[in-house]
Amino acid sequence: MNYGLREELLEFSAYILGGAKVPFIDYVEDGNWEPFLPKYEPQAENYETNGCTIWGTQNQIETFHKGIYGTEPNYSEVFNYLLAPVDPAHGADPQLAYDCIREHGLIDNDLLPVPDTKEEFLETTITKSLLAKGQYWLSRYELNHEWLWTRRPKNALELMKRALKTSPLGVSVTAWYRENGKYIDREMKNNHWCLCYRIDDDGIHVFDSYDHSKKVLSHDHSIMRAKRIWLNKKTHYSMHKQVSILQAIVNILMQKKTLLEVCKDHLGTDASPSDTAPDELACAETVTVLLKKVYPDVPVITGTYTLWDYLKDTRNGFKPVLDATPETIIISPTGTGKAGSIGHVGIFDDRGLIMSNNSFDAGTHKKGTFTANYTLETWRRKYEVGQGMPVLLYRRMV
């Protein structure tokens, strides 16, 4: 059966690993992009399109976008299918899908959804207005892509594992022969293009445009072609994101400590010994002193409300977040709750504990020392439930 992968004799020399100068940045350290997979959209719900190269490529881009930029786009397959173009009977080479996006961009699926019939699909007109929408996308995003090899090497699986830290992968596979719960190639030619989002001890995990399914391939499944991408969002916020990743790499090369490492080094000590604020009220001073050790542009601030104002201003490099990951700042500002209540601020460690200035002597915790003495639950119980304050989370972007 033909699923739409059609290999052509195209010039790829500029798109081989290292040739296209695609940044090699470890965005996902464990190489698992499953939390960022997009909404399932069938390639052939009412009729066969042989459009796997478009569906798989867009799934790859949407996954990268969600993982790095935190929002979930849904692009029109019809737009790129017709512009690539894809042969309805035989499909297309995946290289054409990426080149089409680099030339024509992407548009929202709501502007051009998949029609109910194949006739409507193939007779769809790409208007000047839609082309303009695609160019607008290109004014906001830059897509780079490269193949992992020219010919499949013996260490292909290891190359894929390494590349998955930088990007979800578009891969060619042989569809679909199952044996002992895994999909095998039966030494047959690849005929399908889909998204690889993880490789682990169980196998090669792919997100498919058929059957509403995630599939697990055997480790020896002969994936002949694999491509990684880099999507740059041309905004102030993405610049912060890229700089933060690059800064982390520089920190490693210069043996400069991360915020988490700095905080852990100061546990059990008076992290703000200048005592601009008294020990029992030094939480904001302590947090900003520690931040300043990693990010020199951060000023030393002695009040939680003033610190909140600083964190809210995105020009200072912080953004509000929903998840309490390591290095996330948690703050309940003074003046936002019941009369007379005093706020607090701290930083999450990698165990789910909140490190903050200890405001009173308690057991082995001396007043004025930096300790891990809250969880998110106990923090909410004290400041949100007990004192009527908001619980706000922020992360440094650069």
* Confidence at 237, pLDDT banded by 50, 70, 90: very low
What pLDDT is attached to residue 195?
Answer: 97
Q: Which of 66-80, 96-110, 242-256 has the lowest mean pLDDT?
A: 242-256
344-348 vs 329-332, strand pairing mode = antiparallel
Domains of the chain: 13-234 (3.90.70.10), 256-396 (3.90.1720.10)
* Confidence at 5, pLDDT banded by 50, 70, 90: confident
| Average pLDDT of the segment spanning 129-153 | 94
| Average pLDDT of the segment spanning 366-383 | 85
pLDDT at 364 exceeding the cut of 60: no
pLDDT at 366 exceeding the cut of 70: no
- Max mean pLDDT among 24-33, 56-65, 230-239 falls in 56-65
What pLDDT is attached to residue 126?
Answer: 97
Q: What is the CA radius of gyration of the chain?
A: 25
pLDDT at 238 exceeding the cut of 90: no
* Confidence at 244, pLDDT banded by 50, 70, 90: low
Please enumerate in sequence order all residues whose Cβ is within 8 A of that of 59, keeping only pairs 6 or more positions apart, or say none: 37, 38, 194, 195, 207, 209
46-96, pLDDT tens digit by residue? 899 999 999 999 999 999 999 998 999 999 999 999 999 999 999 999 999
The C-alpha atoms of residue 169 and residue 161 are separated, in whole angstroms, by 10
Q: Are the C-beta atoms of 353 and 260 separated by less than 8 Å?
A: no
| Average pLDDT of the segment spanning 25-35 | 92
3-state SS, residue 141: strand
Per-residue burial over 8-35, b = 16 or more CB atoms within 10 Å of its CB, e = otherwise? eeeebeebebeeeebeeeebbeebbbee
167-180, pLDDT tens digit by residue? 999 999 999 999 99
What pLDDT is attached to residue 367?
Answer: 63
* Confidence at 274, pLDDT banded by 50, 70, 90: low
190-208, pLDDT tens digit by residue? 999 999 999 999 999 999 9
The C-alpha atoms of residue 220 and residue 222 are separated, in whole angstroms, by 6
Report the helix count and the strand count for the chain, using DSSP H and E.
11, 14
What pLDDT is attached to residue 365?
Answer: 42
Helix axes 304-312, 283-294, angle to 10 degrees: 40
Nearest to 284 by CA among 263, 268, 264, 300: 300
Strands (E) across the chain are located at: 141-147, 169-173, 177-179, 182-184, 192-200, 203-207, 214-217, 226-233, 318-320, 329-332, 344-348, 353-357, 370-375, 392-396
Rounded to an integer, what is the distance from CA 8 to the centroid of its chain?
32
What pLDDT is attached to residue 13?
Answer: 44
Q: What is the DSSP string of 340-362?
A: T---EEEEE-TTSEEEEE--S-B
What pLDDT is attached to residue 211?
Answer: 83
Average pLDDT, the chain: 87
| Average pLDDT of the segment spanning 105-133 | 96
* Confidence at 12, pLDDT banded by 50, 70, 90: very low
